[in-house]
Amino acid sequence: MNILIDYYKNRLSTKKSGSRKLFGVLKEIETNKVLKKKINRKGNTFSSFTDLGRKHKNIIGFTGLLFLDIDNCSDHVQVKQFFINLEHTVAVWYSSSGRNVHALIKIPICTTLKEFKLRHKAFSCAVEPYLKDVALLDSITSNPTQLAFESYDSEIFINNDIVEFESITIAPKLVNITRPTVLGTDKQEQWCIDWLQNKFNNINTNGYPKVLKTSYALGGYCSGGYINESNALEIMTNCINNNPYLNSTESSGSIKTYLKAGRAAFDKGLQKPLHW
């Protein structure tokens, strides 16, 4: 990606030192061990570029990137893998401490500060349910001039096939969800069961996004009245527990995290009924 990224001499700098291409910055993270104290490390502003310094009034444009700082990681390997599995991730690497995670997410190029903050909030709300038990998204990155300091991760993930995260609004929370009083026919419920089992039987890579997508759709079928909720949850749980890939060492997470993520996606799906 040929994006220009502003950089600053250290965290105390108020004027930018220059600009560099994003790919060069990412390759530095991959190859250069940083021995300086954090206060003396160079800082990059991944989300915006300015004509002078880091105040909002100095912003003259946005890069189309969200920079995320993920702190308080109880399992930083799992958190990194979560972002590797997201199609919107441009790059993900360990922070300078080696215990937390930094990520870049591709969004449309914003035209105003307000638009940037809306897109940041929309993405944060989309992923927080899946990270809340293992990490914390630092809200400070809603500031598009926030610095990301030099760090080193020889296994930085760089995505060459990125899909933009286009959402800008947060889906309203539906407090009272009206469920159909009459369930679907036995034939409709059996179709849902067969569909669910087939989807999980075919999961042999990229566990997180496939578990989330399938569980979300299942919630929609429940809300649409085609399958009983308790039956759906029981079968979904069995499918996750019995999937060879999700139970293998090649999988990026534990069964416990897949079950939690699946249930969260299922509950979100209940808010958007699917109809045939």
pLDDT band at 174 (very low <50, low <70, confident <90, very high): very low
Residues 85-104 have a mean pLDDT of: 92
pLDDT band at 37 (very low <50, low <70, confident <90, very high): confident
Given a cut of 90, is residue 36 above it in pLDDT? no
Residue 173 binned pLDDT confidence (cut-offs 50, 70, 90): very low
Domain coordinates in residue numbering, the chain: 4-158, 186-269
Kindly report the number of other CB atoms within 10 A of residue 200's CB atom: 22
Q: Give how far Cα 105 sits from Cα of 12, 64, 90, 123, 145, Å.
A: 26, 8, 5, 9, 15
Average pLDDT over residues 61-72: 95
At 185 the pLDDT is 65
**Across residues 18-36, what is the average pLDDT?**
93
Distance CA 58, CA 76 (A): 34
Residue 133 banded pLDDT, cuts 50, 70, 90:
confident
Overall pTM surpassing 0.75 (yes/no)? no
d(C-alpha 22, C-alpha 25), whole Å: 5
**How far from 165 is each of 21, 121, 143, CA to CA, in Å?**
22, 12, 18
236-266 confidence digits (pLDDT tens): 999 999 989 888 888 777 888 889 888 988 9
